[in-house]
Amino acid sequence: MIKYTPVEVSKAAFAFCRYIVAILLLFAFLFKIKILVVLVFVIMLFSFIFKVQKAPLILTYNLLFGKLFKSDDVLINETSIRFAHGVGTLFSLIGVVWLYGFYEIGGWYYILGFTLLKVLSALGFCPAGKLYECTLNGNCCVRKKTC
């Protein structure tokens, strides 16, 4: 059975966080800006360390826009989101190492794949969170008809 730690976060702040990371990676890939990949690594690392409620982009949204744009809270599983941030940290670190240390062209192809995963996450289909829940719950439902 999965560990479920419910936590409430502003729906808009959570969306802001997902969109900004996807946009940063998209810009990094399109314009070949390596430092944006490093920035994504730092964001993901701090999000993993401080958990979702104190994640840098959640705090940024609440500080800059929280008073202007009221949003309902959404109840999320803190443990699965933390796992997803850990996976994102690892994936972005691999991208940074490829871009700065090994094979830059291969690194950009890797960043393209990572960007596509983050775009899926931004759209609400969190592959790492689903993987966490699927693995620990043991109920990996692939087809809707059989669930």
User: How far is the C-alpha of 41 from the C-alpha of 50, rounded, in Å?
Assistant: 14
Q: Per mean pLDDT, which range of 100-104, 122-126, 136-140 is the poorest?
A: 136-140
User: How far is the C-alpha of 134 from the C-alpha of 141, rounded, in Å?
Assistant: 8
pLDDT digits (tens, 9 = 90+) for 24-34: 999 999 999 99
Confidence of residue 128 (pLDDT cuts 50, 70, 90): confident
Average pLDDT over residues 36-59: 97
Confidence of residue 129 (pLDDT cuts 50, 70, 90): confident
Backbone CA torsion sign across 76, 11, 47, 50: negative
Average pLDDT over residues 130-143: 65
Closest CA to 2 of 142, 138, 145, 146: 138
Q: Per mean pLDDT, which range of 17-21, 42-46, 60-64, 99-103 is the poorest?
A: 99-103
Percentage of the chain modeled with pLDDT above 90: 68
List beta partners, residue 75.
8
Residues near 108 by Cβ (< 8 Å), separated by ≥ 6? Answer: 29, 32, 99
Average pLDDT over residues 122-136: 75
